[in-house]
Protein backbone atom coordinates (compact mmCIF):
# COMPACT_ATOMS: atom_id res chain seq x y z
CA UNK A 1 0.00 0.00 0.00
CA UNK A 2 1.26 3.51 -0.72
CA UNK A 3 1.45 5.96 2.22
CA UNK A 4 -1.65 7.99 3.11
CA UNK A 5 -1.34 11.57 4.39
CA UNK A 6 -4.19 13.28 6.20
CA UNK A 7 -4.24 17.01 7.01
CA UNK A 8 -6.11 17.95 10.20
CA UNK A 9 -7.00 21.43 11.53
CA UNK A 10 -6.65 22.96 14.98
CA UNK A 11 -9.73 24.39 16.71
CA UNK A 12 -10.71 27.40 18.73
CA UNK A 13 -13.74 27.40 21.03
CA UNK A 14 -15.82 30.49 20.17
CA UNK A 15 -17.82 29.88 23.33
CA UNK A 16 -17.14 27.32 26.02
CA UNK A 17 -19.70 26.98 28.81
CA UNK A 18 -18.63 24.48 31.45
CA UNK A 19 -21.23 22.86 33.70
CA UNK A 20 -20.78 20.75 36.79
CA UNK A 21 -18.34 17.85 37.03
CA UNK A 22 -19.96 14.51 36.20
CA UNK A 23 -19.50 11.22 38.02
CA UNK A 24 -17.06 10.07 35.27
CA UNK A 25 -14.77 13.03 36.02
CA UNK A 26 -15.66 14.96 32.84
CA UNK A 27 -17.66 18.17 32.81
CA UNK A 28 -20.90 18.70 30.96
CA UNK A 29 -20.24 21.30 28.24
CA UNK A 30 -21.89 23.48 25.69
CA UNK A 31 -19.35 24.76 23.21
CA UNK A 32 -19.05 26.09 19.68
CA UNK A 33 -15.93 24.86 17.92
CA UNK A 34 -14.42 26.46 14.85
CA UNK A 35 -11.71 24.71 12.80
CA UNK A 36 -8.89 27.07 11.77
CA UNK A 37 -6.21 26.90 9.07
CA UNK A 38 -3.39 25.64 11.25
CA UNK A 39 -2.70 22.00 10.45
CA UNK A 40 -0.91 18.84 11.49
CA UNK A 41 -0.20 16.22 8.81
CA UNK A 42 -0.42 12.55 9.76
CA UNK A 43 1.07 9.98 7.34
CA UNK A 44 0.32 6.27 7.68
CA UNK A 45 2.77 3.77 6.12
CA UNK A 46 2.85 0.01 6.20
CA UNK A 47 5.01 -1.50 8.96
CA UNK A 48 5.69 -4.75 10.85
CA UNK A 49 4.83 -3.20 14.23
CA UNK A 50 3.02 -0.12 15.46
CA UNK A 51 5.42 2.84 15.60
CA UNK A 52 5.18 6.61 15.61
CA UNK A 53 7.57 9.45 14.78
CA UNK A 54 6.94 13.14 15.31
CA UNK A 55 8.55 16.26 13.88
CA UNK A 56 7.79 19.99 13.91
CA UNK A 57 6.33 22.38 16.50
CA UNK A 58 6.85 21.00 20.03
CA UNK A 59 7.70 17.49 18.72
CA UNK A 60 10.19 16.80 21.54
CA UNK A 61 7.47 17.34 24.19
CA UNK A 62 4.99 14.82 22.76
CA UNK A 63 5.11 11.43 24.56
CA UNK A 64 5.85 8.50 22.23
CA UNK A 65 4.79 5.84 24.75
CA UNK A 66 1.38 4.09 24.81
CA UNK A 67 -0.34 7.29 25.95
CA UNK A 68 0.32 8.93 22.56
CA UNK A 69 -3.13 9.56 21.07
CA UNK A 70 -1.98 8.47 17.60
CA UNK A 71 -1.15 5.03 19.00
CA UNK A 72 -4.39 4.93 21.01
CA UNK A 73 -6.31 5.69 17.79
CA UNK A 74 -4.41 3.02 15.82
CA UNK A 75 -5.10 0.32 18.42
CA UNK A 76 -8.76 1.29 18.69
CA UNK A 77 -9.32 1.19 14.93
CA UNK A 78 -7.42 -2.11 14.56
CA UNK A 79 -9.50 -3.70 17.31
CA UNK A 80 -12.70 -2.41 15.73
CA UNK A 81 -11.67 -3.88 12.35
CA UNK A 82 -10.25 -7.12 13.82
CA UNK A 83 -6.81 -6.56 12.28
CA UNK A 84 -3.30 -6.31 13.75
CA UNK A 85 -2.32 -2.66 14.51
CA UNK A 86 0.71 -2.75 12.21
CA UNK A 87 1.71 0.58 10.69
CA UNK A 88 4.14 3.43 11.01
CA UNK A 89 2.58 6.82 11.70
CA UNK A 90 4.52 10.00 11.07
CA UNK A 91 3.17 13.28 12.44
CA UNK A 92 4.30 16.67 11.16
CA UNK A 93 3.17 19.22 13.75
CA UNK A 94 2.29 22.87 13.25
CA UNK A 95 -0.36 22.96 16.00
CA UNK A 96 1.31 23.72 19.34
CA UNK A 97 1.33 20.98 22.00
CA UNK A 98 -0.81 21.28 25.20
CA UNK A 99 -1.97 24.69 23.98
CA UNK A 100 -5.79 24.50 24.00
CA UNK A 101 -6.03 24.04 20.23
CA UNK A 102 -6.67 20.27 20.26
CA UNK A 103 -3.39 19.35 18.57
CA UNK A 104 -3.25 15.87 20.13
CA UNK A 105 -6.89 15.30 19.21
CA UNK A 106 -6.14 16.41 15.64
CA UNK A 107 -3.34 13.84 15.42
CA UNK A 108 -5.65 11.08 16.71
CA UNK A 109 -8.30 12.04 14.14
CA UNK A 110 -5.63 12.07 11.42
CA UNK A 111 -4.40 8.62 12.44
CA UNK A 112 -7.96 7.21 12.34
CA UNK A 113 -8.62 8.48 8.82
CA UNK A 114 -5.14 7.68 7.44
CA UNK A 115 -5.23 4.11 8.78
CA UNK A 116 -8.82 3.64 7.62
CA UNK A 117 -7.47 4.26 4.09
CA UNK A 118 -4.15 2.41 4.50
CA UNK A 119 -5.98 -0.69 5.74
CA UNK A 120 -8.67 -0.17 3.07
CA UNK A 121 -11.46 -0.28 5.65
CA UNK A 122 -13.42 2.71 4.29
CA UNK A 123 -15.63 3.08 7.37
CA UNK A 124 -18.34 5.69 7.00
CA UNK A 125 -17.86 9.07 8.69
CA UNK A 126 -20.36 8.32 11.49
CA UNK A 127 -18.48 5.17 12.48
CA UNK A 128 -15.15 7.05 12.52
CA UNK A 129 -16.71 9.88 14.54
CA UNK A 130 -18.05 7.37 17.08
CA UNK A 131 -14.59 5.80 17.49
CA UNK A 132 -13.10 9.30 17.72
CA UNK A 133 -15.36 10.19 20.66
CA UNK A 134 -13.98 7.23 22.62
CA UNK A 135 -10.42 8.56 22.20
CA UNK A 136 -11.05 12.09 23.48
CA UNK A 137 -13.67 14.81 23.74
CA UNK A 138 -12.22 16.96 20.91
CA UNK A 139 -11.33 14.16 18.46
CA UNK A 140 -14.75 13.99 16.69
CA UNK A 141 -14.60 17.71 15.90
CA UNK A 142 -11.16 17.35 14.32
CA UNK A 143 -12.74 14.89 11.84
CA UNK A 144 -15.80 17.01 11.15
CA UNK A 145 -14.30 20.54 11.10
CA UNK A 146 -16.07 23.75 9.99
CA UNK A 147 -18.17 25.23 12.84
CA UNK A 148 -20.08 22.94 15.19
CA UNK A 149 -21.95 22.89 18.47
CA UNK A 150 -20.49 20.38 20.94
CA UNK A 151 -22.55 19.00 23.83
CA UNK A 152 -21.98 16.23 26.37
CA UNK A 153 -18.25 16.36 27.09
CA UNK A 154 -17.83 18.09 23.70
CA UNK A 155 -18.10 14.94 21.56
CA UNK A 156 -21.80 15.22 20.58
CA UNK A 157 -21.68 17.43 17.50
CA UNK A 158 -24.23 19.35 15.47
CA UNK A 159 -23.13 21.53 12.53
CA UNK A 160 -23.65 25.28 12.96
CA UNK A 161 -24.47 27.55 10.04
CA UNK A 162 -21.67 30.10 9.83
CA UNK A 163 -21.45 32.60 7.01
CA UNK A 164 -18.18 34.10 5.79
CA UNK A 165 -14.60 33.72 6.90
CA UNK A 166 -13.06 35.00 10.09
CA UNK A 167 -9.48 36.18 10.59
CA UNK A 168 -7.70 34.90 13.69
CA UNK A 169 -4.40 35.65 15.36
CA UNK A 170 -3.02 33.14 17.86
CA UNK A 171 -0.40 33.95 20.49
CA UNK A 172 1.42 30.82 21.67
CA UNK A 173 2.83 30.76 25.19
CA UNK A 174 6.23 29.54 26.34
CA UNK A 175 4.93 26.37 28.07
CA UNK A 176 1.77 24.27 27.79
CA UNK A 177 -1.05 23.86 30.31
CA UNK A 178 -2.53 20.53 31.34
CA UNK A 179 -6.25 20.33 30.49
CA UNK A 180 -7.18 18.35 33.65
CA UNK A 181 -5.32 20.95 35.78
CA UNK A 182 -7.31 23.78 34.20
CA UNK A 183 -10.66 22.03 34.80
CA UNK A 184 -9.60 21.27 38.39
CA UNK A 185 -8.71 24.93 38.91
CA UNK A 186 -12.12 25.97 37.58
CA UNK A 187 -13.80 23.55 40.03
CA UNK A 188 -11.74 25.06 42.84
CA UNK A 189 -12.66 28.63 41.85
CA UNK A 190 -16.36 27.74 41.55
CA UNK A 191 -16.60 25.44 44.60
CA UNK A 192 -20.05 25.73 46.22
CA UNK A 193 -21.67 27.45 43.20
CA UNK A 194 -24.88 26.04 41.77
CA UNK A 195 -24.39 25.85 38.01
CA UNK A 196 -27.17 25.90 35.42
CA UNK A 197 -27.21 23.40 32.56
CA UNK A 198 -24.68 24.76 30.04
CA UNK A 199 -26.02 26.33 26.86
CA UNK A 200 -24.45 28.59 24.24
CA UNK A 201 -25.69 32.15 23.76
CA UNK A 202 -28.14 33.32 21.12
CA UNK A 203 -25.83 36.30 20.47
CA UNK A 204 -23.03 33.98 19.32
CA UNK A 205 -25.29 31.88 17.10
CA UNK A 206 -26.81 34.92 15.39
CA UNK A 207 -23.37 36.51 14.85
CA UNK A 208 -22.30 33.31 13.10
CA UNK A 209 -25.47 33.10 11.02
CA UNK A 210 -24.99 36.70 9.90
CA UNK A 211 -21.22 36.32 9.40
CA UNK A 212 -20.65 39.49 11.44
CA UNK A 213 -17.15 39.63 12.86
CA UNK A 214 -17.86 42.58 15.19
CA UNK A 215 -20.84 40.80 16.78
CA UNK A 216 -18.88 37.55 16.96
CA UNK A 217 -15.98 39.32 18.68
CA UNK A 218 -18.34 40.68 21.33
CA UNK A 219 -19.93 37.26 21.90
CA UNK A 220 -16.69 35.23 22.33
CA UNK A 221 -16.40 33.71 25.81
CA UNK A 222 -14.71 30.85 27.59
CA UNK A 223 -15.47 29.67 31.14
CA UNK A 224 -12.01 28.04 31.31
CA UNK A 225 -10.32 31.41 30.80
CA UNK A 226 -10.46 32.46 34.45
CA UNK A 227 -8.94 29.12 35.47
CA UNK A 228 -6.17 29.35 32.85
CA UNK A 229 -5.39 32.95 33.90
CA UNK A 230 -5.47 31.94 37.57
CA UNK A 231 -2.79 29.31 36.83
CA UNK A 232 -0.87 31.61 34.45
CA UNK A 233 -1.55 35.27 35.41
CA UNK A 234 0.79 36.51 32.64
CA UNK A 235 -1.86 35.52 30.07
CA UNK A 236 -3.89 38.61 31.00
CA UNK A 237 -1.05 40.77 29.65
CA UNK A 238 -1.23 39.00 26.28
CA UNK A 239 -5.02 39.43 26.18
CA UNK A 240 -4.65 43.14 27.04
CA UNK A 241 -2.32 43.68 24.06
CA UNK A 242 -5.03 42.34 21.75
CA UNK A 243 -7.65 44.64 23.24
CA UNK A 244 -5.29 47.59 22.95
CA UNK A 245 -4.51 46.93 19.28
CA UNK A 246 -8.07 46.67 18.04
CA UNK A 247 -8.95 42.97 18.29
CA UNK A 248 -12.71 42.50 17.90
CA UNK A 249 -12.51 39.86 20.61
CA UNK A 250 -9.78 38.23 22.69
CA UNK A 251 -9.96 35.01 24.67
CA UNK A 252 -8.00 32.02 25.88
CA UNK A 253 -8.35 29.14 23.41
CA UNK A 254 -9.90 26.07 25.10
CA UNK A 255 -7.93 25.22 28.23
CA UNK A 256 -5.08 27.53 27.11
CA UNK A 257 -2.50 28.86 27.30
CA UNK A 258 -2.85 29.97 23.64
CA UNK A 259 -4.67 33.31 23.35
CA UNK A 260 -6.95 33.81 20.34
CA UNK A 261 -7.79 37.20 18.81
CA UNK A 262 -10.45 37.93 16.23
CA UNK A 263 -9.53 40.56 13.62
CA UNK A 264 -11.82 42.41 11.19
CA UNK A 265 -9.78 41.54 8.08
CA UNK A 266 -6.39 40.27 6.92
CA UNK A 267 -4.72 43.66 7.33
CA UNK A 268 -5.94 44.07 10.92
CA UNK A 269 -4.79 40.54 11.65
CA UNK A 270 -1.31 41.44 10.40
CA UNK A 271 -1.21 44.61 12.55
CA UNK A 272 -2.33 42.63 15.57
CA UNK A 273 0.29 39.94 14.91
CA UNK A 274 3.03 42.58 14.71
CA UNK A 275 1.85 44.24 17.96
CA UNK A 276 1.68 40.92 19.81
CA UNK A 277 5.14 39.91 18.60
CA UNK A 278 6.61 43.28 19.60
CA UNK A 279 4.95 43.11 23.05
CA UNK A 280 7.17 40.22 24.10
CA UNK A 281 4.23 38.71 26.06
CA UNK A 282 4.20 35.44 24.09
CA UNK A 283 6.56 32.94 22.45
CA UNK A 284 5.31 33.21 18.89
CA UNK A 285 2.35 34.52 16.91
CA UNK A 286 0.53 33.07 13.91
CA UNK A 287 -2.48 34.04 11.78
CA UNK A 288 -5.18 31.70 10.50
CA UNK A 289 -8.66 31.77 9.02
CA UNK A 290 -11.75 29.81 9.98
CA UNK A 291 -13.87 27.91 9.39
CA UNK A 292 -12.01 25.22 7.41
CA UNK A 293 -12.81 21.58 6.65
CA UNK A 294 -12.01 18.73 9.06
CA UNK A 295 -9.49 15.92 8.50
CA UNK A 296 -8.98 15.09 4.82
CA UNK A 297 -6.70 12.90 2.75
CA UNK A 298 -4.21 15.08 0.86
CA UNK A 299 -1.89 12.52 -0.68
CA UNK A 300 -2.13 8.76 -1.22
Binding site for ligand C5P (CB under 6 A): 25-27, 29, 136-138, 153-154, 179-180, 183
Tell me if 290 sits within 8 A of 163, measured CB to CB: no
* Catalytic residue of the set 24, 138, 156, 240: 138
* Catalytic residue of the set 11, 93, 107, 116: 11
CB of 233 to ligand C5P, least distance (A): 22
CB-neighbour burial class of residue 211 (10 A; exposed 0-12, middle 13-18, buried 19+): middle
CB of 22 to ligand C5P, least distance (A): 8
CB-neighbour burial class of residue 292 (10 A; exposed 0-12, middle 13-18, buried 19+): buried
Active site residue 202: no
CA 221 to chain centre: 16
Tell me if 103 sits within 8 A of 48, measured CB to CB: no
Q: Which helix (H) or strand (E) holds 55?
A: strand 50-56
CB of 136 to ligand C5P, least distance (A): 4
Active site residue 243: no
Cα dist from 292 to 10, 103, 107, whole Å: 10, 15, 16
CB of 131 to ligand C5P, least distance (A): 14
Q: Which residues are catalytic?
A: 11, 138
Amino acid sequence: MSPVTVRVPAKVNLELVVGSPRSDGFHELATVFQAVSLYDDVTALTGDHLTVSIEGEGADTVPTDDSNLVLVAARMLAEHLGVEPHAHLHVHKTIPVAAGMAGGSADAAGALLALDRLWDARLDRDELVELAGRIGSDVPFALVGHTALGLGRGEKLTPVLARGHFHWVFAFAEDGLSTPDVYAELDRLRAGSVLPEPRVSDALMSALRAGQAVALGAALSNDLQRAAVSLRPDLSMTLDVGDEYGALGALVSGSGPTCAFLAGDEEQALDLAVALTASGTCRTVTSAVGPVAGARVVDS
